[in-house]
Amino acid sequence: MIDRRFILTRGALGALGVAFAPRMAFARAATQKRFVFIIQRGAADGLGVLGAVGDPAFGSVRGDLAADFATGAKLDTNFALHPAMTNAAALYGKRQALFAHAIASPYRDRSHFDGQNVLETGGDRAYAVRDGWLNRLLGILPADEARAIAVAATVPMALRGPREIASYAPSGLPQASDDLLQRVSMLYQGDTQLHGLWSEAMATRALTSDLGSDNGRNAAATGTLAAKLLAPDGGARIAMVETGGWDTHTGQRGRLTAQLTGLDAMIGALQAGLGPLWADTMVLVATEFGRTVAINGTGGTDHGTGAAAMLFGGGVNGGRVLSDWPGLAPAALYEARDIRPTAQLDAFIGGAVSAHFEVDPARTMAALFPGSAKARATEGLLRT
């Protein structure tokens, strides 16, 4: 018999489905190592994250966007970190954070969809590869019977492929209004069972807000949830977190500060939530491409090429910025507008993953990045 409580629970929570599905994906493999890939969808401005304060042209070409770096952590003679990244700066001081600048995937056009496809599939051009490099990573790790799970409206491209993925797909119903949610909250207030379920659903719904909303607290909650799912002995070993809002065409200074506040809170929550497991955890942060060096007429930047990538973790050989810096003078720019890429993102990811999971680098590059299989994986990213 189906009673009223069953209908209310399934119906109310199902109606919220589209509103609260966290944009995270998880996978398990026979390893004690944990790996988290945070994708910055929208093309994050690497020069806004890591300011090239030692470049003579930095102040003049960046204008107001250069001002924040007066209070950011100085990483070396050439680079400073955005001041919103306080947890990242602390990890850098502990040599548990490493940054790469003027880095890019093989993609050289400026379409978000195509660029993200190249980043997630590991191909050398858009839609040349049909599965994701994280899915293929499962194939080169010691396997057990555990399967991957995606908690998202759709499985991210990086996790799609022959390795089976279980997923929770939210309802396609329209998003509930705040007024309706408040009324349902009042309805369930006196029900000991449904009140708990509803409160949990509402808390999870908050995780899908913009990365910088609520001063980064929602992003921190996402990091805490990811840590809880990664921590158990039988839990996930690989997680992907999708973050959006990095397409800063207008009003970049305030928007990027909010975004970086959220990202930094997420990283801090991951570290805190994993506790001693942080020693065996690696977090990769990467975006599909960078942004223009010059500011546009609306205080933002447009789609570019060279970007920045980040590694965090207890075993990372950090306290460094890896960069063959091309310079910001007009003659040094790519197509007279972008940071010229001098490092390969594929090689950076391949080197990080192979060292972290102790897999042969050449085999890793061939499996994960077939379009860059002949490239040599970046070495020295983890402490020996």
> What residues have CB less than 8 Å from 182, skipping those under 6 apart?
none
For every residue of 312-370, DSSP letters joined together read ESTTB--SEEE-----SSGGGSBTTTBPPP-EEHHHHHHHHHHHHHT--HHHHHHHH-G
Whether 121 shows a pLDDT value over 60: the answer reads yes
Residue 27's DSSP bridge partners are 238
Work out the mean pLDDT of the chain and round it to a whole number.
85
- Render pLDDT for 133-151 as a digit per residue (tens, 0 to 9): 999 998 898 866 334 455 4
Residue ranges covered by each domain of the chain: 26-160+211-372
Distance CA 362, CA 350 (A): 9
pLDDT at position 144: 60
- Render pLDDT for 234-257 as a digit per residue (tens, 0 to 9): 778 888 888 888 999 999 999 999
Question: Model confidence at 175, in pLDDT bands (50, 70, 90)?
Answer: low
Look at residues 282, 39, 28, 57 and name the one whose alpha carbon lies nearest to residue 142: 28
Distance CA 365, CA 353 (A): 10
Distance CA 163, CA 326 (A): 40
- Higher pLDDT among residues 24 and 72, named by residue: 72
pLDDT at position 17: 37
Question: Model confidence at 16, in pLDDT bands (50, 70, 90)?
Answer: very low
- Render pLDDT for 256-284 as a digit per residue (tens, 0 to 9): 999 999 999 999 999 999 999 999 999 99
- Render pLDDT for 316-327 as a digit per residue (tens, 0 to 9): 999 999 999 999
> What residues have CB less than 8 Å from 225, skipping those under 6 apart?
22, 24, 207
**Of the listed ranges 206-210, 273-277, 325-329, 372-376, the one predicted with least confidence:** 206-210
Counted residue by residue, the chain has a size of: 384
> What residues have CB less than 8 Å from 296, skipping those under 6 apart?
249, 302
Count each helix (H run) and each strand (E run) in the chain, helices first: 13, 12
What is the third-level CATH fold of 26-160+211-372?
Alkaline Phosphatase, subunit A (3.40.720)
